[in-house]
A and B are shown apart, each in its own frame.
Chain A
Amino acid sequence: MEHTIPEKHYLNEATGWKSWLMTLDHKRIGILYMIMVMFSFFLGGVFALLLRWELISPDKILMGPEMYNQAFSLHGIIMIFLFIIPSIPAILGNFVMPLMIGAKDVAFPRLNLASWYIYVIGFCFAVYALFTGGIDTGWTFYTPYSSETTTAVIPILTAAFVLGFSSIFTGLNFIVTIHKLRAPGMTWFQLPLFVWAIYATALIQVLATPVLGITLALLMLERVVGIGIFDPAMGGDPVLFQHFFWFYSHPAVYIMILPGMGIISELIATFSHRRIFGYKFIAFSSLGIAFTGFLVWGHHMFVSGQSDFAAVIFSFLTFFVGIPSGIKILNWMATMYKGSISLDTPMLWALSFLILFSIGGFTGIILGTLSIDVHLHDTYFVVSHFHYVMVGGTVMAIFGGLHYWWPKIWGRMYNETLARIAVVLIFVGFNVTFFVQFIMGTQGMPRRYATYLPQFQGMHGFSSIGALIMGVGFLLIAIYLIHAIFKGKPSGPNPWKALTMEWETPSPPRAGNFEGAQRLTHGPYDYDKVVPENALKQYKTL
């Protein structure tokens, strides 16, 4: 069946660069975010490749130890603060969430645009730091080193501080939007699970990010003024900085993964063509993860000199995070069981997520065990664990989501063959890169070193080959996705025959999202009750 692009849509209803830079439309802001965030992903990726390049051999290839320290710090800072934290909420949350709940826009469109500008300012500070001495503290800015090193700590702290505001604004906006702007008739338990996940994420954003703000402000004051609260020479306590930092940064890990889990819930239901199993369990497990995420930050500090009492409590509580995560995984599996699964590209990303995130999650439980962590702390085991969660989890979900909603965003479809090749490249490349790092870690290879003992040569080389495969995969994705924007085949409003509300508008949608007021006619996963037809808003009741 041939589809056409509607004559008027949000991309062409207003033209000129000013109509983009001053836009209040959540869809356009989502795209502005996409440009900046994906550029950051590219930058961070370049640093990752440089690191793996250097690690091909224990000898110096590209950079000496100081340069290496800067490269891994920038890789971490860019990937975390500029890419992964804003990624799903700011791009897909912005674009899709209001459509999913039948709203015309987010609650505070101006604040939404402001958050993008603040993000850009933060981005500029980060780039400024990059060109004025770099940063070699790692992304965690641990004191007392961060108050002593001569690199550009202040600009990068300013960047992270400013980006925090952007994150808070997005979170605040989404909470109010989900509370107040749902379509008439849409109750909380008719929300798509992506919206639940975004909601839980937004709660963490507003609760945790202010503490990061004050922490970074204190560190800046420590450095500039010398207030002496984290500096042992001044009677301060450097471990206190770690508490402050991880009170934000551990929940921030869930800011990164929760929206990814939301995307996976959508993908699994859509491509299994089956009512999602255990809707309420998945919805509440998002909130459960958000809450327990605040109680476990000390497991990053088992060897930092915190009290044994605290370490035991934090280790014990850490196991509880496994429960809601496990609930989600099992419910997704149950959804697929006896479903009518189609293996389109987004579903392939979702399946990769399931496998990789499970590995990442289980190794997290291993690391949360106090006695084992003492052995594995600061080794490649930890590096591999969080890459399995962040890349194997969140990045798989982002690209799954982008492939899933790409036809909604641009109205055009990408090349399916190339897309499937890309998934395989990334999946294989990822495992080649990181699985050996588990083994290296257990054998004692410490993280954050530019060199290593000769016995690790083989595994480091293997890992670097994997990174190259991943690099090729991401390049391929960039090519065919950008090509699809201009030359792709028109996709029609609902190419996947999904039942959530964003598919009830034309692709791309109009500036005001829906014609007239949107009403809920069926639940988001009523695959057992209705079948979507290809034309708009036509559903056949079974």
Chain B
Amino acid sequence: MSQTTARPAHLQHHFTDVHQQAESAKLGIWIFLLTEVLLFGGLFCFYAIYRSWNPDMFHNAHAFLNVWMGATNTVVLIVSSLTMALAIRSMQLGRRKHTIVFLAGTVLLACVFMVIKYFEYSHKIHLGQLPGKWYFFEGIAGTNPHIFFSAYFLMTGLHGFHVLGGIAVITWLIIKTARGSFSPEYYTPIEMTGLYWHLVDLIWIFLFPLFYLIG
């Protein structure tokens, strides 16, 4: 027990030691990720059901998504996940400068992702490939193609919001790291954000084939 030793500044009063505090934070973030999985789960369920009802329409509509933009975005997110993991590793080794560089790289890649998404969205909005009653595009065979774009915009949109959230949190981490708030002994916020960011990547790993590849 660490009660005899001095309590570090970041240790809250109701924990007995830093280990207990870090473990609690980690379990907490995993349960948060669980809620995220089920939040997206509702949309995956929605996708699965309408796809099973209209497989041909989904197939025809998916051809109107740009595979290369989607694939680029997949690569961008995977690399950003890698830089996030390396940022944590650097902090574990006490290399604060490297951490900042890797975190900044992650933010940069996330921004690239959003920019590509912006071009995709504006192209679709321009053509009228829009969700629900806003849909006015012609030329997709099959019943109710607007449902496909409802699914597309909802799922990638919710995912996009998570990317934006990630950008905000990671930027905050860069500032905190630069101010020296973290050390090899205490880097829980970076670790937790990392887990969140990997989940965002993980969800995209499924969104990409479901929309861009097989429809």
Residues of A within 8 A of B (CB): 103-109, 168, 172-173, 175-176, 179-181, 206-211, 213-215, 218, 221-222, 225-229, 234-237, 240, 244, 512, 517
Residue of B nearest to A207 (CB): B38
- A372 CA to B95 CA in the complex, in Å? 69
The verdict on B20 contacting chain A, using a C-beta distance below 8 Å, is yes
Interface of B is mostly: helix
**Can you sample 6 A-B contacts with CB below 8 Å?**
A105-B14, A176-B28, A208-B38, A214-B41, A218-B46, A227-B132
Q: B31 and A226: CB pair below 8 A?
A: no
Interface secondary structure of A, over-half rule:
helix
The answer to the question of B141 belonging to the interface, with a C-beta cut-off of 8 Å to chain A, is no
8 Å CB contact of B133 from A109, A208, A226: A226
- On whether the beta carbons of B27 and A210 are closer than 8 Å, the reply is no
6 A-B pairs with least C-beta separation: A214-B42, A235-B144, A227-B132, A104-B14, A226-B133, A105-B14
Complex CA–CA separation, A229 to B132 (angstroms): 8
Contacts of A180 in B (CB 8 A): 20, 23-24, 27
Which B residues are CB-close (under 8 A) to A108? 24, 28
**Nearest CB of chain A from residue B125's CB, rounded to whole Å:** 13
By the criterion CB–CB under 8 Å, are B34 and A207 in contact? Answer: yes
Within 8 A of A (CB), among B10-47: 12-16, 20, 23-24, 27-28, 31-32, 34-36, 38-43, 45-46
Is the beta-carbon distance between B132 and A179 smaller than 8 angstroms?
no
The contact of B154 among A105, A211, A227, by CB within 8 Å, is: A227
Bound CA span A303–B43, Å: 25
Which of B23, B28, B147 is A229 in contact with, Cβ under 8 Å?
Answer: B147
- Docked Cα-Cα span, A221 to B147, in Å, equals 13
Residue of B nearest to A104 (CB): B14
Given that A103-B14, A235-B143 are contacting pairs, would A206 and B43 also be in contact in the complex, using a CB cutoff of 8 Å?
no
Shortest beta-carbon distance, A13 to chain B, in Å? 14
Closest residue of chain A to B35 (Cβ to Cβ) is A210
Tell me the smallest distance from the CB of B140 to a CB of chain A, in Å.
Answer: 13
A225, B16: Cβ atoms under 8 Å? Answer: no
Question: Which of B39, B43, B132, B134 counts the most chain A CB atoms within 10 A?
Answer: B132
- Flag if A215 contacts B42 (CB, 8 Å): yes
- Extra contacts, 13 of them, besides A244-B42, A517-B16 (Cβ < 8 A), are A108-B24, A168-B35, A172-B31, A180-B24, A181-B14, A210-B36, A210-B38, A210-B42, A211-B39, A211-B41, A214-B41, A229-B132, A517-B3
Chain B residues with Cβ under 8 A from A107's Cβ?
A: 14, 24, 28
Q: Are A235 and B147 in contact (CB under 8 A)?
A: yes
A228 & B13 in contact (Cβ 8 Å cutoff): no
> Does chain A have a CB within 8 A of B156?
no
Q: CB distance A226 to B154 under 8 Å?
A: no
Asked if B146 is at the interface of the complex by the 8 Å CB criterion, the answer is: yes
Residues of chain A with a CB closer than 8 A to B146's CB: 228, 234-235
Cα-based distance from A489 to B39 in the complex (angstroms): 49
A206/B34 in contact, CB under 8 A: yes
How far, in angstroms, from A208 to B13 measured CA to CA in the complex?
Answer: 32
Check B46–A228 contact: CB distance below 8 A.
no
How far is A215 from B38 in the complex, measured between Cα atoms in Å? 11
Q: Using A209-B35, A210-B39, A236-B147 as known contacts, say yes or no to A176 and B132 having CB atoms under 8 A apart.
A: no
CB atoms of A175 and B41 under 8 A apart: no
B46 touches A240 (CB 8 A): yes
Residues in chain A near residue B24, CB distance under 8 A: 107-108, 176, 179-181
Closest residue of chain A to B28 (Cβ to Cβ) is: A176
Which residues of chain B are within 8 angstroms of A176 by Cβ–Cβ distance? Answer: 24, 27-28, 31
Query: Residues of A contacting B175 with CB < 8 Å?
Result: none
Instruction: Indicate if B55 sits at the interface (CB-CB under 8 A).
Output: no
Measured in the bound complex, the distance between the Cα atoms of B35 and A215 in whole Å is: 14
Chain B: which residue is nearest A511 at the CB level?
B13
Using Cβ atoms and an 8 Å threshold, which residues of chain A touch B147?
228-229, 235-236
- Cβ of B128 under 8 Å from chain A: no
**CB-defined contacts of B132 to chain A, threshold 8 Å:** 222, 225-229, 234
Q: Look across to chain B and name the residue whose beta carbon is closest to the beta carbon of A165.
A: B35
B27, A175: Cβ atoms under 8 Å?
A: yes
Residues of B within 8 A of A106 (CB): 14
Q: How far is the CA of A229 from the CA of B45 in the complex (A)?
A: 12
Give the docked Cα–Cα distance between A259 and B80 (Å): 43
At the interface, yes or no: B178 with Cβ under 8 Å from chain A? no
Q: Would you call B189 an interface residue if the criterion is a C-beta within 8 Å of the partner chain's C-beta atoms?
A: no
Q: Chain B, 125-159, contact with A by CB distance < 8 Å: what is the 0/1 string?
A: 00000011110000000011011001000100000
Distance A301 CA – B57 CA, assembled complex (angstroms): 29
| B49 CB-CB contact with A under 8 Å | yes
- Residue in chain A with minimal CB distance to B42: A214
Report chain A residues within 8 Å CB of B131. 225, 227-228
- How long is the Cα–Cα vector from A18 to B203 in the complex, in angstroms? 42
Closest to A98 in B: B14
Chain B residue contacts of A234, Cβ below 8 A:
132-133, 144, 146
Alpha-carbon distance between A221 and B42 when the two chains are bound, in angstroms = 14
- Nearest residue (CB) in B for A212 is B42
Of B35, B41, B147, most buried by chain A (CB within 10 Å of CB) is B35
Alpha-carbon distance between A107 and B14 when the two chains are bound, in angstroms: 8
Q: Is the CB of A211 within 8 A of B150?
A: no
Cα distance A172–B42 in the bound complex, in angstroms:
20
B27 and A214 within 8 A (CB)? no
A214 contacts B39, CB within 8 Å? Answer: yes
Closest to B32 in A: A172
> Which residues of chain A are within 8 angstroms of B43 by Cβ–Cβ distance?
214
By beta carbon, the residue of chain A nearest B54 is A235
In Å, the complex CA distance between A104 and B11 comes to 14
A228 x B133 contact (CB < 8 A): yes
Min distance, Cβ A32 to any Cβ of chain B, angstroms: 18
Residue of B nearest to A209 (CB): B35
> How far is it, in angstroms, between the C-alpha of A108 and the C-alpha of B25 when the chains are bound?
8
Contact A512–B13 (Cβ < 8 Å)? yes
Minimum C-beta distance from B136 to chain A (A): 13
* A517 cross-chain contacts in B, Cβ below 8 A: 3, 16
A229 to B51 Cα, complex, angstroms: 12
B window 151-179: CB within 8 A of A: 154
Q: Which residue of A is nearest B46, CB measured?
A: A229
Known: A214-B43, A240-B46. A227 touches B36 (CB 8 A): no
Asked whether B14 lies within 8 Å of A206 as measured between CB atoms, the reply is no
Are A175 and B39 in contact, CB atoms less than 8 angstroms apart? no
Known: A176-B28, A210-B36. A109 touches B14 (CB 8 A): yes
